[in-house]
Structure 1
């Protein structure tokens, strides 16, 4: 061996570190440290912290994209948690002085077989003797939830708040018997007062019916398909904190759209009523917030209760003939219809749906109205003076300068993976392509149709019960 040569006997002395090992070691260290920081923050941050909400929202989205929607075989399966709707469910019907004429028609729309028994009517006024609503031998009073909210100690220092003053004007007009003024005021700012009802009416419902399994809050222009509601509730354990409804809003406050119906389990209500801090915060926010239904989410988030979006597609914010039937829900039950604002429309919905005895799927809407689904009729399903698209939004595609209805049909065919319906306007020559279809109605100057092959495929791939 030459002088000065470096050597080492195997097994003796330190082993030189590979030039590659240090970066790998640093990477593992950083990853472990990041994970530790994340877990620490996850444990110490409040439930309604933006970071937690963002992470949860994106994880839920990834899981839904990866695994898809869970099976809905429960619709016709034996009940896991049997529910007697009359005994176990309380309905909280929201109205206002300006829309109170809808309430008797809402009751009228319920069939003789309706299982709803315990119903609380809440509003921005209280009914007097002779002004209660009759329902199956009962006289149901209207409970003023706005007054209840404003009389709470937490709002005692806010009597001069604009919303409190507006309520004072309405209350004075009602008490003075000035119906014209009361109607004018209610229709002017009743939507503002609505935000003061939601938390108070949930508190009130729990006080009146502390042993109910389920609490269902809905508007006076909402119809509930009871045969679809019952299997949903019987699939869920009311001793778990469930918060259900049609999800709207961004990740910071995903909330159940009040018009589509909001359902809380007994466990969720018990947690909410048992948390004065969460309720007090929501009551204060109600003085300025636009959406009372969003306040429910804000209060529940403080308790770690999130909107369960697994069932959001069952709740519907539209009337039946305009309901957007999408590919991901065509075989799912529909629990509610909303925005049924005229007496004749509510009566018609009651006539068509009031006597159904089994769950109603979105797919069933055509047959319930005595129509044959277009994809069962012909291969093209073109219909003059009709519209199967309805209201447009950011998810629809409008193509201009389309010469004929057949060309519009061909455009839908070229977008077959996303198009479920199309409508061509003769006056503008615009072609509208949508990822949903509606039963629709007469629309002068329009030609419309559905994507027959896709609709047939979706129907044939429904779960067979």
Structure 2
């Protein structure tokens, strides 16, 4: 016969068990929270948890409202007084810099600039903007002069820099350009931290520090309206997100924006972190990733809510996606030729209001065929691919053996969720490419291209009035 506890003893035992389990749960949660708080900001476990929590929040809550785009500014900003643009260049790309300034319209509010590179411009050969001479500061030398790198004189990057410097000083321009072309990308990683140090030392009162490459174009009406919604005394780190969970970083070419609070926190309150960053410059392939890791160590993470506002491509090739169709756009990248940079400046010189992604189409004064409701096929044009690579892996779906352009267009509409634009070519096995974006596009021989008109029209109707 089984022994049974009296009911009152059973209730007491069960109550005690519940209390112990609750206590164990609280202790476990408290222990995990304590461990979380004790972990360094750049700890892999902490970064992984943060990354997944942010993904869940984004999936559940979506992005912040963008009704601010044409609303009165919350914090009026004067770009002339409040912003500094740090233009990152190099000996091998210096021909772009003057074109960068020429791309600024006569109405440009940007006034203060800092040019940084891997060489020092000589007197009477500085760049000029509105009558003011702008020298190039050799921040690579500034980095290599740090005490933490004093025993690294035989490092390959140091040797490459010394070779470039010697060639420049000897007046051998051809050899200098060869060296700059072969090692410029490696030396670029040594510019970021020292550039920020120099910028803050010269302009400590600025509210916003904008780091760009010499092939980056800023759309000032969009930039001004965006910054007018933010508080520079908040630790902002903004840009076009790339990278894995362990180092989500802002793509340098798309422009990086740092608030005054972020700069002050990094450069005045975290000198050991800055020194560590200098020591890592010789081993880090990408300076923009090094900057992110450095900021993470101070507790400042990339604010990914705004990453869709930055483009890492040229105006014609910027991918207009469904998730940013009606959003403003702040920047372009990869305007490698001076001619292309100046042309982009002329394209936007009379713009007075924020530019939306869908406005890229209008800026080229091109008709919007989806508005007619009739399928339009453009001959010898591509609204999908990249003319530099032509890589089918850059699009979502590729079919072969599609006999006609009309059949390709039908496939696009059939796969409406993944297709906004399509391109068909009889070459390479009657290839049909479809993408979840569309671009203003480029010339492409033997290619026919078009849009998923119903989907594009529906997306455009969701845009707020402007």
- TM-score calculated relative to the size of structure 2: 0.94
Q: Distance in 1 between matches of 2:404 and 2:301?
A: 48
Q: Does 1:372 align with 2:373?
A: no
2:326 to 328, 331, 342: 331
Corresponding residue of 1:59: 53
Q: Tell me if the contact between 2:99 and 2:342 (Cα under 8 Å) persists in the aligned partners.
A: yes
Q: Tell me if the contact between 1:278 and 1:299 (Cα under 8 Å) persists in the aligned partners.
A: yes
Structure 1 residues 5 and 246: CA distance shift in structure 2, 3 A: closer
Q: Does 1:194 align with 2:188?
A: yes
Q: Does 1:254 align with 2:255?
A: no
Q: Could you report, residue by residue, the CA deviation over 1:264-311 in whole angstroms, capped at 9, with x for unpaired residues?
A: 000000011021111111111111111001111111101100000111
Q: Distance in 1 between matches of 2:368 and 2:54?
A: 34
1:242 to 189, 213, 236: 236
Q: Distance in 2 between matches of 1:175 and 1:394?
A: 43
What SS is found at the alignment partner of 1:120?
strand
Q: Could you report, residue by residue, the CA deviation over 1:58-111 in whole angstroms, capped at 9, with x for unpaired residues?
A: 111111111111110111111111110000000000100000000011111110
Corresponding residue of 2:37: 43
Q: Does 1:277 align with 2:272?
A: yes
Q: Distance in 1 between matches of 2:60 and 2:283?
A: 39
Q: Could you report, residue by residue, the CA deviation over 1:371-402 in whole angstroms, capped at 9, with x for unpaired residues?
A: 11221234212212111111344651111111
Q: Could you report, residue by residue, the CA deviation over 1:120-167 in whole angstroms, capped at 9, with x for unpaired residues?
A: 111100011121001001011110000011111121121121111110
Structure 1 residues 23 and 316: CA distance shift in structure 2, 3 A: farther
1:158 to 140, 145, 152: 152
Q: Tell me if the contact between 1:225 and 1:354 (Cα under 8 Å) persists in the aligned partners.
A: no
Corresponding residue of 1:170: 164
Corresponding residue of 1:226: 220
Structure 1 residues 23 and 164: CA distance shift in structure 2, 3 A: same
Q: Does 1:109 align with 2:94?
A: no
Q: Does 1:363 align with 2:364?
A: no
Q: Tell me if the contact between 1:418 and 1:435 (Cα under 8 Å) persists in the aligned partners.
A: yes
Q: Does 1:344 align with 2:339?
A: yes
Q: Distance in 1 between matches of 2:253 and 2:135?
A: 22
Corresponding residue of 2:383: 388
What SS is found at the alignment partner of 2:324?
coil
Q: Distance in 1 between matches of 2:312 and 2:132?
A: 30
Following superposition, the deviation at residue 29 of structure 1 comes to: 5.8
Corresponding residue of 1:425: 425
What SS is found at the alignment partner of 1:35?
helix
Following superposition, the deviation at residue 451 of structure 1 comes to: 0.9
Following superposition, the deviation at residue 28 of structure 1 comes to: 5.0
Q: Does 1:354 align with 2:355?
A: no
Following superposition, the deviation at residue 38 of structure 1 comes to: 2.0
Corresponding residue of 1:268: 262
Q: Tell me if the contact between 1:87 and 1:212 (Cα under 8 Å) persists in the aligned partners.
A: yes
Q: Tell me if the contact between 2:385 and 2:394 (Cα under 8 Å) persists in the aligned partners.
A: no
Q: Which runs of 5 or more residues in structure 2 are unaligned?
A: 387-391
Q: Distance in 1 between matches of 2:252 and 2:31?
A: 38
Q: Tell me if the contact between 2:385 and 2:395 (Cα under 8 Å) persists in the aligned partners.
A: no
Q: Could you report, residue by residue, the CA deviation over 1:343-394 in whole angstroms, capped at 9, with x for unpaired residues?
A: 2211211110122111010000111111112212342122121111113446
Q: Tell me if the contact between 2:120 and 2:137 (Cα under 8 Å) persists in the aligned partners.
A: yes
Q: Distance in 1 between matches of 2:47 and 2:393?
A: 27
Structure 1 residues 14 and 378: CA distance shift in structure 2, 3 A: closer
- Segment drifting more, 371-380 vs 203-212: 371-380
Corresponding residue of 2:415: 415
Corresponding residue of 2:177: 183
Q: Distance in 2 between matches of 1:445 and 1:378?
A: 25
Provide the alpha-carbon RMSD of the alignment: 2.0
Q: Does 1:77 align with 2:71?
A: yes
Q: Distance in 2 between matches of 1:164 and 1:462?
A: 51
Corresponding residue of 1:446: 447
Q: Tell me if the contact between 2:420 and 2:455 (Cα under 8 Å) persists in the aligned partners.
A: yes
Following superposition, the deviation at residue 33 of structure 1 comes to: 4.3
Q: Distance in 2 between matches of 1:348 and 1:327?
A: 27
Following superposition, the deviation at residue 406 of structure 1 comes to: 1.0
Q: Which runs of 5 or more residues in structure 1 are unaligned?
A: none
Following superposition, the deviation at residue 459 of structure 1 comes to: 0.6
Q: Distance in 1 between matches of 2:18 and 2:158?
A: 63
Matched ranges for 1:3-42 at <5 A: 13-15=8-10, 31-42=25-36
Q: Does 1:124 align with 2:118?
A: yes
